[in-house]
Structure 1
């Protein structure tokens, strides 16, 4: 195994021609020797780590002698970050290593590892001294009048790439997170990006009367209900279902979607604190069913006519999030820190139990697990908003 440095100069330089070639060559040899020693140490550390993480194969030779096969580090790239190029064992896949990423990081003595596919049968394991998502991410300015069909920023992934949601597609969004997880700040960022869109109306239910309150008196406020009156919330959702049905009836012949425009803008149905909203119905089973049925219909049938549901529960629970029928409608799913492993795995079935537990125990505010269409998943840092006052001022300015 060798280490491939990225930024070590070539031995043959102008220094050689100036009589300093010997010193350059000796310096080069010393650097290579030190890098090779580091590579050897990393190799031994890696072997112990993958053994402890259960990523080795145990077998016996024909003579009955026990034998252990381990995925080998073939070479190391000097970075930063230091990156191990690993050849997997037959039958192993990258997800086997991602599921044990927390063990690999602990064993290698780093804050975290980033596992990516190099080529068939090979991995790249980057050793990160610190979590790249610890730095706050500012919310970029979105010009007034930008269409709601322009992708909305949800955050940046571990590589610094933007993660967006394209509402021009027939998609809905669910975000869960306990108090203090950063869910409110993310909600502020999403709505701030949509508030001034000329082809969007932000509607919905807000039992807390906080998230949607800045829209009071604006063109959005007429289709919003704030406060603890469950009948008012149910009436609004019924009204939205009626609007959806009217739009469905207007879909032109030989089309399966309604062209959106001034008479049919995007309808963003924001459901703040969904579980609290259902709780307002108390023991009135009929009222709870009325709320749930309307929401399921909006999510299941509204995509063709510009209806987009944004659900914001503190915790996704199998029964309270409408069961699989409703939950399955949310193509975009984000989990900020919550207090329940089952809630994480409910929205992110591809996340292993150790990963879910790590997110519960060590998750930082503003850092979310996410799943998006085409099997895209990972971690992201949500945009940073100063405080509620800044959000209020932004909405007031954008809707005036």
Structure 2
């Protein structure tokens, strides 16, 4: 069995009359050893790490012969002590540099290369031509705390969907929880198999400490299935959040607000919050918002008056957008937030209440027009929209394609995956309809230009955490910012 991948010829019964040549046993053994040594040398030369290890071993042997074992033992003791101190002082860097590299090397040999040939044959990913068996080749294996990344060079004629459809079979073969495929930018003949060896997203994720100032091009809001912090871009982007009731849309919104909180305090960021559900989700953080509309009406007032307020807030955002377009025209293509011109984040907790379930026809027309303008033109000038919705169908939200970043939590229908993340997303592993309802905040994040969605779990921000955020990060007193309008309730 060829356990390393490559070609293997069929050795069917063929009868030939060949003259017998007698060779000494020593010659046969020498030829076999020579072939093995040549293969080993070629394997080492193709791997710089292996060359380094072999070199160190040879140096250690030479020193031991020339000076005895004490110098080598001293070096080993110093290296071991250094690694031990490193692991205790800075475990965050020790794990990826040392532990995960060692784990990747170990699992490459003990798991993947060992069972590669039978796995390829069983899944139909191997090919046989004229009696010769061709196998996809393992290029490299790397590991994290919970994911093995196996980089593979596909056979001619194979595509990523051929591998994606065999994900569950590959996961079972190699003892993983799940297997998904990832493309390799610039390498059309290669892909990466993500083997989830343990799921770190089964437990709630505590909120991250807000960065000061916030990294608007990469806000830390979730934990990825590889155990690492996952970041989401907000500056120059719009976010659509889709999820069924109880799926964790509030976790997404509050994770974003938590990551923005230092910028809110320093007035580099303004949050304009629209909560059509009477403020049930966002009211606790009202003191952090530059504007807050929640659908309340005075006693005896018009029941549709709050719908006009929603339209007014969005039209005010369009006004800011127009003014900034005039100021940046010919000078810059992307707005840089300052205290005078902050990033404005319009958060809408239930987008369908503004686009589909509204009674006032005039207000609906104004809301649709303003939203369409903001989504098509606002992100370049620092006016970003974050909208949450339960149903992603076109008749509910007609402008969903204008959101470059889409976050899909648990949904009730498989069709919602394609509607949110695009055709074929579910075949590539984004099975949002199968997310356990006991894991709110677990989501798939899709971005324009990236064919595969990332699986993450957003942080769980409790009521106590929100109270602490408001106390620590309420905006500092300052004059009314240009383009801003006093809070509306």
| Paired residue secondary structure (2:255) | helix
Residue of structure 1 in register with 2:416 after alignment: 343
**Cα distance, 1:188 vs. partner?**
0.8
Under a length normalisation based on structure 2, what TM-score does the superposition of the two structures give?
0.62
Paired residues of 2:430 and 2:453 also in contact (CA < 8 A): no
Alpha-carbon distance in structure 1 between the residues aligned to 2:319 and 2:141: 60
Residue of structure 2 in register with 1:243 after alignment: 320
Paired residues of 2:182 and 2:452 also in contact (CA < 8 A): no
Q: Pick one of 197, 214, 217 that aligns with 1:129.
A: 197
**Cα distance, 1:308 vs. partner?**
0.7
Matched, 1:266 2:380: no
Paired residues of 1:230 and 1:280 also in contact (CA < 8 A): no
Structure 1: gaps spanning 5 or more residues: 19-31, 62-66
Paired residues of 2:221 and 2:232 also in contact (CA < 8 A): yes
Structure 2: gaps spanning 5 or more residues: 5-42, 44-48, 62-67, 70-105, 297-305, 476-489
Matched, 1:203 2:204: no
Residue of structure 2 in register with 1:333 after alignment: 406
Alpha-carbon distance in structure 1 between the residues aligned to 2:202 and 2:178: 12
Q: Pick one of 279, 295, 304 that aligns with 1:227.
A: 295
CA deviation digits over 1:84-140, x for unaligned, max 9?
675532121345323542343245553112545687745554544333443543332
Under a length normalisation based on structure 1, what TM-score does the superposition of the two structures give?
0.74
CA deviation digits over 1:339-395, x for unaligned, max 9?
122222122115444456733124543222112354264323233225233223323
Task: Evaluate the alpha carbon distance shift between residue 333 and residue 300 of structure 1 in structure 2; reply closer, same or farther with a 3 A threshold.
Answer: same
**Cα distance, 1:338 vs. partner?**
1.0
**Cα distance, 1:149 vs. partner?**
3.6
Alpha-carbon distance in structure 1 between the residues aligned to 2:112 and 2:385: 52
Paired residues, number: 365
Residue of structure 2 in register with 1:2 after alignment: 3
Residue of structure 2 in register with 1:359 after alignment: 432
Residue of structure 2 in register with 1:176 after alignment: 242
Aligned ranges 1:1-400 → 2 under 5 Å: 1-2=2-3, 43-48=117-122, 50-51=123-124, 55=125, 71-72=135-136, 88-106=154-172, 108-115=174-181, 121=189, 125=193, 127-143=195-211, 146-147=213-214, 149=216, 151-168=218-235, 170-197=236-263, 198-208=267-277, 209-216=279-286, 218=287, 220-221=289-290, 223-227=291-295, 229-251=306-328, 254-256=331-333, 260-282=337-359, 284-322=360-398, 326-349=399-422, 351-355=424-428, 358-362=431-435, 364-375=439-450, 377-399=452-474
| Paired residue secondary structure (2:222) | strand
**Which is strand-richer, 1 or 2?**
1
Alpha-carbon distance in structure 1 between the residues aligned to 2:382 and 2:148: 47
Alpha-carbon distance in structure 2 between the residues aligned to 1:220 and 1:341: 36
| Paired residue secondary structure (2:262) | coil
Indicate the RMSD between aligned Cα atoms, in angstroms.
4.0
Alpha-carbon distance in structure 2 between the residues aligned to 1:179 and 1:142: 28
**Cα distance, 1:83 vs. partner?**
7.3
Task: Evaluate the alpha carbon distance shift between residue 370 and residue 392 of structure 1 in structure 2; reply closer, same or farther with a 3 A threshold.
Answer: same
Task: Evaluate the alpha carbon distance shift between residue 99 and residue 395 of structure 1 in structure 2; reply closer, same or farther with a 3 A threshold.
Answer: farther
Paired residues of 2:138 and 2:152 also in contact (CA < 8 A): yes
Paired residues of 1:137 and 1:381 also in contact (CA < 8 A): no
